[in-house]
Structure 1
Amino acid sequence: MSKLIQALLSGMFFTFILDFFVILGIKLNYIQFYNIHVYYNILFADHQNIFLFLFFSFIIGYLIIYAKTKIALIIIGALFVLSFSTLIPPIGKAVGEMILMKKNVTIKTDKFSYHGNIYYDGRKTVTFYDNELKKVIILNKNKIRGQY
């Protein structure tokens, strides 16, 4: 197997591990905090960015196979520490809010208008905190008018 293919596959493997722990931290510290009903697999699949995945796959693969220095080890170690840090509740919650939460949004349905924060925009439903009702509501995407 050529070193280029070996670098790409190694990079993809380690990037997958990093992604796993970032999404796990979000699931444990953001999704469960707001009591959002979504499976880990759906969360993982729906929030992957192929360009970031490929970028980190190439970088990490290069560092593992070609750059056998202490600096490469430090960079890879720092990436692992950063991805594992989402398992710490305040950090995981903050990362989840950055990625998933949309603040000060107005959603309109046929009968009502809601103003608040989107906690999670799922495949079929939107988990929404209404500022006027002061509670979390689940809205069916088929009943929402317009863009939010």
Structure 2
Amino acid sequence: MSKVIQALLSGMFFTFILDFFLFLGIKENYIDYYNIKVYYNILFADHQNIYIFSFFTLLLGYITIYLNNKIAITITGILFLLSASTLIPPVGKKVAEKILMQKNVTLQTQKYSYHGDIYYDGRKEITFYDNTLKKVIILNKNEIKGKY
């Protein structure tokens, strides 16, 4: 097997591991915290960015195959610690808020208008905190007018 293919496969493997821990921390410290009904697999699949994944695949593949072992271990170790840091509750919650939460949004349905924060924008439903009601509500995406 050529070194280029080894680099690609190694990069994909290490990037997948980093992604796994990043989304595990988000699931544990944000999704479960707000009692949002979404499976880990859906969360993981729906929020992958192919450009970021490809960049880290190429970067980590190059690092693991072509660089000195000490440098490769140091860089991958640091990246692992950064992605695994989402398992620390305040860090995981803050990272998830940056990725998933949309603040100060107004949503319109046929009958009502809601103002608050989108906690999670799922495939069919939106988990929304309404500032007026002071509680979390679930809204069907098909009922919402316009873009939010």
Q: Which residue identity is paired with 1:22? A: L
Alignment deviations for residues 19-50 of structure 1 (CA, whole Å, 9 cap, x no partner): 00000000000000011000000000000000
Number of the residue aligned with 2:124: 124
Number of the residue aligned with 2:110: 110
Q: What runs of 5+ residues in structure 1 fail to find an aligned partner?
A: none
Q: Which residue identity is paired with 2:72? A: A
Q: CA offset at residue 69 of structure 1?
A: 4.3
Number of the residue aligned with 2:15: 15
- Give the whole-Å Cα distance in 2 for the aligned partners of 1:69 and 1:20: 24
Superposition RMSD in Å: 0.7
- Give the whole-Å Cα distance in 2 for the aligned partners of 1:34 and 1:69: 42
- Give the whole-Å Cα distance in 1 for the aligned partners of 2:59 and 2:146: 40
The number of aligned residues is: 148
- Give the whole-Å Cα distance in 2 for the aligned partners of 1:136 and 1:70: 49
Q: Which residue identity is paired with 1:94? A: K
The 3-state SS of whatever aligns with 1:70 is: helix
Where do 1:17-96 residues align within 5 Å?
17-96=17-96
- Give the whole-Å Cα distance in 1 for the aligned partners of 2:74 and 2:12: 19
- Give the whole-Å Cα distance in 2 for the aligned partners of 1:40 and 1:22: 11
Q: What runs of 5+ residues in structure 2 fail to find an aligned partner?
A: none
The 3-state SS of whatever aligns with 2:48 is: coil
- Give the whole-Å Cα distance in 1 for the aligned partners of 2:13 and 2:72: 17
Report the more deviating stretch, 59-68 or 71-80: 71-80
Q: Which residue identity is paired with 1:123? A: R
The 3-state SS of whatever aligns with 2:54 is: helix
